[in-house]
Structure 1
């Protein structure tokens, strides 16, 4: 009888393990959920990190790798990857229609959130972020692998790009002058004020300091907890409401090159349900443009150095 009970318990656990792959509601998955679903047939894990060699030194078992600098962008002109390019990369990563795609990465999921935004632009479904990303996964001592991932080619089909999810410079200028959108600058307070044009050590910069006139400053880091996970939804709602962003009008997010603003796009769009466009041109485009409305509180002047 005891042997039968153990077998029944094991069978039940296996059923739970298999079915749990479809039990993750919402745009985030936990580290517990992902570890329980590492081998689930309909779950595909993709790392999108910015620091070279991170994936190769150890990745979540079964995860494919997309390189932000080459895979998720057009490497000739400044643009996101084309539909055909991205579709091919996802198929190579074994992604089929109907799969749950879990993205994660370093630097608090900045570039994983960029990946989620690009996939959203092309109509990919069931895309989720690992809450806490690599930071939390590693801090909890969860398994990492250095083994190459060999996956059968997938068959996912993407849609044409949805322009409603992406702001261009004309949209931002129009919003700045009309007040039609809430504009959220997610950079640091020093970048927003114009005290610095870019964080120390970053090469992508602009010839003007400051921020888009009419924008409010909610640095991306205010949306996360110490362990890298997003703050609870009600705390996020209060955070942005205090800055005047309550979902009553559409939102445009921006940063320096568009990746940190993807993180805030995810919080506002996926967690709070607001209508949000990401301005991926961000300050490196806007701060180099001629004749656009800029507010420079610190009065910093670019000197070419």
Structure 2
């Protein structure tokens, strides 16, 4: 059944995975990535490996991602090659799964997909979970020669320059964070900032407007209405998205880039924890 999404192959439906779980090709790897890093151990999709968004993807000292060498090691020990199709899923409507997918694409891994509905829908459908951790033969994953910073990412100074172009900027946080009423979401006190508000000119389009109650993505028509008609985004022009640390905005980045087919979408992963603490950074409320 066609969804109408521009890149339909970036979505895997849960029903398909459930039917084919015991006969998946060796070059397919299911990857669970959650905000709650302990969830995987309580039960996961049989055959799924765990990617811890903090321990596995982020450098423990500097605020950046792991090195290309460490990314290659991460893939190798999980039996992943550059040709492996990685199906990502997780909690909170795949918010963190999209973050992991974005990080993989940052290192040039293109064979990536999202399991529509994620962990919550899998469980609601009563599909099997296991606590058994799979073991895959270690592979050789070549160290990526280039990180895709220019293609899918933007840094603080780049955002400052971008503001001069009056290009669209999408704040995907909650309305309270956008307005400045909240310095951070109550459940994330460790990621608070000194000042509340939003980047000048940014429009508020909370990330969760893209998903239904069951965690699956809304229809192509609904998404076009949200992002193109209401927010005024042009598929042919550059768009920058941001949130707190780049995780919620990775979800919106995925929707814009792959479901709607926007040509140039960049994730400002420094986001509000950088901008709201940066000396001299312009802020609107």
Q: What residue number does 2:283 align with?
A: 294
Q: CA deviation at 1:214?
A: 0.8
- Give structure 1 stretches of 5+ with no counterpart: 1-23, 297-305
CA contact under 8 A between 1:43 and 1:101: conserved in structure 2?
yes
Equivalent-residue separation in structure 2 for 1:25 and 1:229 (angstroms): 14
Q: What residue number does 1:87 align with?
A: 72
Q: What residue number does 2:199 align with?
A: 212
CA contact under 8 A between 2:8 and 2:259: conserved in structure 1?
no
TM-score where L is the length of structure 1: 0.86
Equivalent-residue separation in structure 1 for 2:277 and 2:214 (angstroms): 35
One of 166, 174, 188 as aligned partner of 1:188: 174
> For this pair of structures, how many residues does the alignment match?
272
RMSD: 1.4
Equivalent-residue separation in structure 1 for 2:175 and 2:164 (angstroms): 22
One of 134, 147, 166 as aligned partner of 1:149: 134
Q: What residue number does 2:249 align with?
A: 261
* Partner deviation per Cα, 1:124-171 (whole Å, 9 max, x = no partner): 121001111101111111111111211111233344101221110011
Q: CA deviation at 1:246?
A: 2.6
Q: What residue number does 1:201 align with?
A: 187
CA contact under 8 A between 1:28 and 1:130: conserved in structure 2?
yes
Q: What residue number does 2:3 align with?
A: none
Q: What residue number does 1:113 align with?
A: 98
Q: What residue number does 1:231 align with?
A: 218
Q: CA deviation at 1:97?
A: 3.0
TM-score where L is the length of structure 2: 0.92
CA contact under 8 A between 2:172 and 2:207: conserved in structure 1?
yes
Moved more, 156-165 or 100-109: 156-165
Matches within 5 A, 1:32-51: 32-38=15-21, 39-40=23-24, 41-51=26-36
Equivalent-residue separation in structure 2 for 1:57 and 1:107 (angstroms): 16
Q: What residue number does 1:16 align with?
A: none
3-state secondary structure, aligned to 2:109: coil
* Partner deviation per Cα, 1:237-290 (whole Å, 9 max, x = no partner): 110121121324201110011100100000001111111110110000000111
* Partner deviation per Cα, 1:162-184 (whole Å, 9 max, x = no partner): 122111001111222331x3110
Equivalent-residue separation in structure 2 for 1:148 and 1:106 (angstroms): 18
Equivalent-residue separation in structure 1 for 2:81 and 2:17 (angstroms): 18
Matches within 5 A, 1:46-61: 46-61=31-46
Q: What residue number does 1:14 align with?
A: none
